A and B are shown apart, each in its own frame.
Chain A
Amino acid sequence: MSLGEGGEQARSTADAVARRSYGKLVAFLSARTRDVASVEDALSEAFAAALADWPVNGCPANPEGWLLTAARRKLIDFARRRRTGDLASGELQRLAEELETATNASTANAVEIPDQRLALMFACAHPAIDAGVRAPLILQTLLGLDAAMIASAFLTSPAAMGQRLVRAKDKIRQAGIPFRIPEREELPGRLGAVLDAIYAAFSEGWVDSGGTDAARRDLAEEALFLGQLLAQLLPNEPETLGLVALMLHVEARRPARRNALGDYVPLAEQNMGLWNLDMICAGELLLSRASSLDSIGRYQLEGALQSAHVHRRRTGQVNWTEIVQIYDVLMELSGSPVVAINRALALAEVAGAAAGLESLEHLTGDPRLKEYQPFWAARAELLARTGASVSAHHAYEVAIGLERDPAVRRFLQRRQSALTHA
């Protein structure tokens, strides 16, 4: 069948709806059935039906409403096929009526579909869901990304990722995880899991900042989008604003992280003219709004660290004392060895390489750091500055062996060979 012009228009309308409303449709339907997997199937059939129907009958005035109605019919079909016997008919009737009332209310006069994406995010990042699958689950249900793409960003096999996602969706349905925004008392802890999941998606997406791997690059953008959505839905949560500010600052420097040859450029040597000023300003604005809300947290502090580097753009100098102070507070909050490494590097700028190295020594016993490239790179850098070139050479060796980005590897190799020539 040739679709011609009508087919193309149908395709572009469907694409636009998918981008704008996919998550909204999944959230709205799942909140009623709790069966995310069936909702996704129903929606994908609804999109397929749209591509067959719209070229012939024209695109509807309210495409979201059309898709919602089509998906609802599919869902009722699924339920009817799955459950037979009198026992289920009452439940089925209720489902049909509920979906009918809800969809009628939203399709009449093209009223906006109620936005329940926040409730969906909280379901996906529920404490009953394995922490490692929360970010993938949010990416899939809210954005419609497929398991293969998510898998390659999270460095796992598509089959394994697919299985984890299926299990998580089963858990939401079987364990009866609610689709709601937690009460005020629980909100801080629960919100933390959502923020962590979004930040995990962002960090995974950001590993290859050269942008050679489209799947990773897109993921960073999607995570930023989810963060901004969250900030829009919960405008008075300072940590949400802090997370978005942090992501904006990191994204702003992406163009400067590679030179013309594709080689890695460390922060201190970046051409500040390449930083995205609009993003930096937006990040700064969010941070000041967050601080007016009077509750400090990890993401605001990390955002503040990024902001301290922007200081260099204005004054030509980095305020290392301020940076060490922020790391001190972060250390108290998280006790994370990653924070400790960065603090040691900042401390070296204030109090000398030996002081930095000494604070790094406290971490050598931590088994988590044995395979953590930044730990070895930091150690190598500080050893080199104290003149211990043999130990520095070895630490660089391990760091190079642990790095997965060829550009960063070349950068470390250059540092290592500069050592031998010194």
Chain B
Amino acid sequence: MQYMLLLYTDHNAFLKMTPEQQGQGLAAYKSFMEALTKSDALKASGRLQPTSTATTVKVTNGKTQVLNGPYAETKEQLGGYFLIDVPDLDSALSWAARCPASGHGTVEVRPLWVM
């Protein structure tokens, strides 16, 4: 079954870290991906640029509105994702717990519709 791990993290906290801490933090993600790849669970992944780069689009009554900024201002923002293919929810949850983001942010686990 496919699950999306959605990573919600605080980008400002990342900016406040020393370069060494940042390096260690990013390396942990690299290791996580390596482990996912090794067990043939990884389908796709991506890291999003901070919400300062976001633009929001909304069409109401035929009128297109383009807004500068994210959909919602919150401390923790969607910062990346891992799409994984694993046998069941428990297995997806154990990957979510290993994901470095669950240690400094929140990981939401969502099953995909089976098409």
Contact = CB atoms under 8 A, between A and B. Distances in A.
A403 B31 CA distance: 10
Contact of A400 (B31, B89, B94, B102): B31
Given A156-B93, A398-B31, A403 B38 contact: no
Contact of B24 (A397, A402, A413): A413
A22 B39 CA distance: 44
A348 B28 CA distance: 28
Contact of A370 (B39, B89, B94): B39
Nearest to A405: B103
B107 to A, nearest CB: 11
Contact of A397 (B31, B89, B90, B97): B31
A160 interface: yes
A395 to B, nearest CB: 10
Contacts of A406: 100, 103-104
A398 B35 contact: yes
A401 B94 contact: no
Given A400-B28, A402-B98, A413-B28, A157 B34 contact: no
A397 B90 CA distance: 23
By size class, the interface of chain A is 10 to 19
A293 B32 CA distance: 47
Contacts of B75: none
B85 to A, nearest CB: 14
Contacts of B35: 371, 398, 400-402
Interface in B56-100: 89-90, 93-94, 97-98, 100
B100 A397 contact: no
Interface residues of B, number: 22
Contact of B97 (A160, A399, A400, A404): A404
B43 interface: no
A397 B98 contact: no
A413 B93 contact: no
A410 interface: yes
B93 A401 contact: no
Interface string A264-282: 0000000000000000000
B102 A397 contact: no
A264 B89 CA distance: 29
A401 B100 CA distance: 8
Interface in B1-53: 24, 27-28, 30-36, 38-39
Nearest to A401: B35
Nearest to A151: B93
A398 B103 contact: no
A215 B107 CA distance: 19
A422 interface: no
Contacts of B28: 400-401, 409, 413
Contacts of A156: 89-90, 93
Interface of A: 155-157, 160, 370-371, 396-404, 406, 409-410, 413
Given A396-B31, A399-B31, A401-B38, 5 more contacts: A155-B97, A398-B34, A403-B98, A404-B103, A409-B103
Interface of B: 24, 27-28, 30-36, 38-39, 89-90, 93-94, 97-98, 100, 102-104
16 contacts: A155-B94, A155-B97, A157-B89, A370-B38, A370-B39, A396-B31, A398-B31, A398-B38, A399-B31, A401-B31, A401-B98, A402-B35, A404-B97, A404-B102, A410-B24, A413-B24
